[in-house]
Amino acid sequence: ETTCTYLSSSSDPRAALSTQRVFCQVHPAMEDVAGPADAELAQFVAITNCQPDQAAFYIAAADGNFEQAIAMYYDQQAGPAGEVQHGQDSGAARPATSVGPEDAGARGANGAISARPPRLPHRRRGRAGWLQRLLQIPSLVVWGAWRAVTGVLHVGVVALTYVLQRTLPHSWMNGLRGFGEALRLGATQVDPLEAAHAFARDFREQHGEVCPDWVEVGWQDATRAAARQFKFLFVYLHSPDHPDSEGFCRETLAHPALVAHVAENYVAWGGNVRFSDAYRLSVSLRVTRYPYVGLIAHSGVRAKLVMWATGAVGPQQLLEQLEAALEHHGAEMVADRADAEERDYTRRLREEQDAEFQRSLQADREREEGAAAAAAEQAAAAAAAAQAEADARAKEGEAVAAAQAAADAVVQRREAAAARLREEPPPGPGSALVRVRLPSGANFQRRFREDEALEAVLDWVDSREEHQSLQYSLASNFPRRVFTRPGDGAASLKALGLAPQALLFVQPLDD
């Protein structure tokens, strides 16, 4: 028996409820989907003894109305237990199991199976019946005690779940749930990447290279990859223990037309339910029959299951169902792609405008910095020129002052030297004729007593107006000697060999 199902817009509330149920079970760990308060969730689980994700769905479906959610839960539990098959735009539901005439009394006015069991005919209880009741008392006590213990354990598990949900992230809670289910039913805990790689490798080895291009990541990463490409996620859950699985892979999934359709329109992911990642997905999807194929759409921040097929579906039938689902729900992907492209265009336009604005600011800044640097350079050059001019003026002033000071010193020295000079002796024995030549070429001579000291000659030189050097020495050529006031000033002319006559040259020592 095969069942192919896809969800479309329908006026049947039970069909809409089934759609929401599948959506909530596909992604129970989505943190962006608002759920009921934790207290209401724990109370709902304690009352109905259902799973927390089912409780979250019914409370969300009732818009937070707790009593209406309880009523919806019991009404849904009383409805048909089989899968629902939909046409393209049909909201009618067909139960997978039939109900005979003996069950007619258990149906309600709408044809659904009532939660209230049919009344049984009244029977008289005889002595044997009362004796049987007495004999059943011990077993009833044991059964009651067992029920009490399991009830306490259930309450403890619910309380622990409530505490963990309050303290741990949603992703951790979903991982713990999946790990617990995998341990309970025997699924092997394997890294999702390794499991996906092993499935793709085994599929190609057994059925050839003509097959869907399975992405070798976990199913949640595959969902995100499909969302980034604005495509549906084609999901195949493989049960190697099912007798139809090998034939379905060989005849349907490896069919060239189906492979081409999947490659063009979907991101394909497959998993072996013996491994934990695929098993957790099968638990979320409430998969009861294999082989199982599903189509998951990720629109905005939500994901939903838009089509599924179970059993040995032929390639043509599965292809028709996939095309119908693509036709009904592809517009959402096109709209999402258009929105994303518009957002991306707006973002790129804003980034380009921001970049252009930043470049303009940078150009203005560089221009201002260049103008400021030029102004600063000009100011520095002007300041340097002013400083150089000031230094030159200062040096010039210093030179003028020094020259004036030197001239004043020369005048003072000349007056003092003239005052110290003795009268010039007459020519004759005991006198020495000294001739002096200045650097300017001027010559002058005078007689001194040969016993006079050289200081008398130096005073005579200092008294001459032609002589302007403050520091100088006297030198003779033959023999070559240099005379200074500190070294030779006290020696007599005769002792220095400057008598009876001598020719001396003035050598300035001023800087």
Among 83-97, 304-318, 461-475, 494-508, the minimum mean pLDDT is found in: 83-97
Give CA–CA dist 293/233, Å, rounded.
Answer: 10
Q: Nearest Cα to 218, choosing from 137, 277, 154, 139?
A: 277
Q: How many CB atoms lie within 10 A of CB 511?
A: 5
Higher pLDDT, 95 or 199: 199
Using pLDDT thresholds of 50, 70 and 90, give the confidence band for residue 146.
confident
Q: What is the mean pLDDT of the chain?
A: 76
For the chain, the helix, strand and coil percentages under 3-state DSSP, each to the nearest 5: 55, 15, 30
Instruction: Tell whether the model's pLDDT for residue 78 goes beyond 70.
Output: no
Res 79 pLDDT > 60:
no
The whole-number pLDDT of residue 381 equals: 92
pLDDT at site 238? 93
Mean pLDDT of 296-324: 85
Q: What is the pLDDT of residue 121?
A: 40
Average pLDDT, integer, range 356-362: 91
3-state secondary structure (DSSP) of residue 41: helix
Q: What angle do CA 322, 290, 100 make, to 5 degrees?
A: 95
pLDDT at 260: 94
pLDDT of residue 255: 93
Q: How far apart are CA 90 and CA 397, in angstroms?
A: 113
Mean pLDDT of 126-145: 68
pLDDT at 75: 63
Six-digit token string for 52 = 């927390």
Residue 133 is predicted with a pLDDT of 65
Sequence-ordered list of residues with C-beta below 8 angstroms from that of 433, at least 6 positions apart, any chain:
427, 445, 446, 447, 500, 501, 502
Local confidence band at 382 (pLDDT 50, 70, 90 cut-offs): very high
Over its C-alpha atoms, the chain yields an Rg (Å, rounded) of 59
Token readout for 423 is: 């009268």
When mean pLDDT is compared across 154-163, 245-254, 287-296, the lowest value belongs to 154-163
Q: State the pairing for strand pair 3-6/232-238.
A: unpaired
What integer is the mean pLDDT of 65-77?
71
Alpha-carbon gap, residue 312 to 2, rounded angstroms: 6
**Is residue 325 predicted with pLDDT exceeding 70?**
yes
The answer to whether residue 428 scores a pLDDT higher than 60 is yes
Each residue's pLDDT tens digit, 246-255: 999 999 999 9
The CA-atom distances, in angstroms, between 168 and each of 39, 42, 309 are 16, 16, 35
Highest mean pLDDT among 145-159, 189-203, 321-335: 189-203
Question: For the chain, what is the total number of helices (H) and then of strands (E)?
Answer: 15, 10
190 or 254, higher pLDDT: 254
Looking at per-residue pLDDT, the higher value among 365 and 39 belongs to 365
Q: Taken in order 38, 40, 42, 44, is the CA torsion positive or negative?
A: negative
- Statement: residue 92 has pLDDT above 60: no
The pLDDT-based confidence of 407 (bands split at 50, 70, 90) is: confident
In this predicted structure, the answer to whether residue 448 has a pLDDT above a threshold of 60 is yes
Buried b (16+ CB within 10 A) or exposed e, 114-152: beeeeeeeeeeeeeeeeeeeeeeeeeeeeeeeeeeeeee
In this predicted structure, what is the pLDDT of residue 505?
Answer: 92
Q: Which of 251-260, 381-390, 462-471 is least confident?
A: 462-471
Position 67 confidence tier, pLDDT thresholds 50, 70, 90? confident
State yes or no: pLDDT of 36 exceeds 60: no
pLDDT surpasses 90 at 120: no
- In tens, the pLDDT along 167-176 reads 777 656 655 6
**pLDDT category, 161, cuts 50, 70, 90?**
confident
More confident residue, 306 or 117: 306
Residue 174: predicted pLDDT: 57
Q: Residue 85 pLDDT > 60, yes or no?
A: no
